[in-house]
Amino acid sequence: MPEQPVPYWDDVDATRIFPNIAIAAFDLDGTLARSKKPMLEPMAQALSTLTTMLPVAIVSGGAMSLVRSQIIDVLSEQADRTRMHLMPTTGTRYYRWNGDDWQQIYEHNLKSEDRAAAMESLQRHAQALGIWPEHSYGPVLEDRGSQITFSALGQQAPVDLKEQWDPTNELKNELARRVQRDVPHLQVRSGGSTSVDVSDKGVDKAYAVHALADALGVDVAHIMYVGDRMDPDGNDYPAAQAGTTAIRVRGPEDTLALCRSYIEWYQHHACRPNGAQ
């Protein structure tokens, strides 16, 4: 499939795309919040407001515990949780609010032998590339059941160190390419600022947005998918290739500006877009 360039939010004609958007879907780290950090209050308020206007999905490489701490725990009282769709571990799990808690709709766990093979390959190639840390901030390899995640500095590394580690994504991309050759039947993607994720082939953010579209009865083209890793090696790129209205951001500041732009447009038009309710 040919590469599909994804425009940055400030290159998009919002007045053209907003009327056709039925669902807003967001990556988490680097898009709604900095790595492993909760959303800042202005972003939390904007996202909460969005949930009163249209369905909102979070499609993250992180585990559900991180989606809770970074997103759910900082939403305002205004947020309508019944219109939220949580899809952690790169969309290999899906949760909806049942009135009391988040109910799991599906999960796609890796086989135990595939998890072991992925972890062995990640460690071996990371050591060969010289990026396996002597000292780490928490686990370097994490078995999330449906996804194996390598974090070059450890899961709890300070965000500033993470963002400085591989700004061009060259190291993560090379590690992903090497591991992919070892496990061709699995999907290996460069994830957040220091991470590489391994999951079942075909169960990625493209799978997630199609599942979301099916669940809400809309065409995938009516999903606005917002992410920072829209390069062909990035884990947001499959959502763009799936046919969403994909928008690239440079960080949470861009996402906040985009959300405020949508909120202003919505309030001015005082109507819901056609599509999922």
Picking from 153, 168, 200, the residue at the C-terminal end of a domain is 200
* The pLDDT value given to residue 275: 45
In one-letter notation, the amino acid at residue 261 is S
Contacts of 169 (CB under 8 A, 6+ apart): 190, 229, 231, 233, 234
Q: Is residue 204 annotated as a catalytic residue, yes or no?
A: no
Choice among 10, 11, 13, 29 that is catalytic: 29
| Location of structure tokens 């990371």 | 126
- pLDDT class for 203, splitting at 50, 70, 90? confident
167 and 153 in a single domain? The answer is yes
Q: Which residues are annotated as a binding site for Mg(2+)?
A: 27, 29, 228, 244
Picking from 200, 224, 252, the residue at the C-terminal end of a domain is 200
* The pLDDT value given to residue 2: 61
Asked which of 21-30, 188-197, 204-213, 219-228 is least confident by mean pLDDT, the reply is 188-197
pLDDT digits (tens, 9 = 90+) for 128-162: 999 999 999 999 999 999 999 999 999 889 989 99
152 and 216 in a single domain? The answer is no
Q: Are 29 and 155 in contact (CB under 8 A)?
A: no
Q: Are 151 and 142 in contact (CB under 8 A)?
A: yes
User: Which range marks the domain in which residue 230 is found?
Assistant: 9-108+203-269
- pLDDT class for 234, splitting at 50, 70, 90? confident
pLDDT higher than threshold 70 for residue 207? yes
| Rounded CA separation 132/89 (Å) | 22
256 and 210 in a single domain? The answer is yes
Picking from 179, 200, 221, the residue at the C-terminal end of a domain is 200
* The pLDDT value given to residue 102: 97
Residue whose C-alpha is closest to residue 125's, from 98, 95, 148, 99 = 148
Cβ count within 10 A of residue 15: 9
pLDDT higher than threshold 50 for residue 276? no
125 and 146 in a single domain? The answer is yes
Domain count, the chain: 2
93 and 151 in a single domain? The answer is no
In a domain, 68, yes or no: yes
Q: Which residues are annotated as a binding site for alpha-D-mannose 1-phosphate?
A: 144, 195, 197
Report the CATH number at residue 36: 3.40.50.1000
Q: Say if residue 86 is exposed, middle or buried (CB neighbours under 10 Å; 0-12, 13-18, 19+).
A: buried
The whole model's pTM is what?
0.85
Q: Which residues are annotated as a binding site?
A: 27, 29, 144, 195, 197, 228, 244
171 and 242 in a single domain? The answer is no
pLDDT higher than threshold 90 for residue 114? yes
Alpha carbon distances (Å) from 51 to 180, 191, 254, 269, 274: 37, 26, 19, 17, 15
Choice among 10, 27, 73, 80 that is catalytic: 27
17 and 87 in a single domain? The answer is yes
150 and 218 in a single domain? The answer is no
18 and 99 in a single domain? The answer is yes
Q: Give whichever of 116-125, 232-241, 265-274 has the largest mean pLDDT.
A: 116-125
pLDDT higher than threshold 90 for residue 258? yes
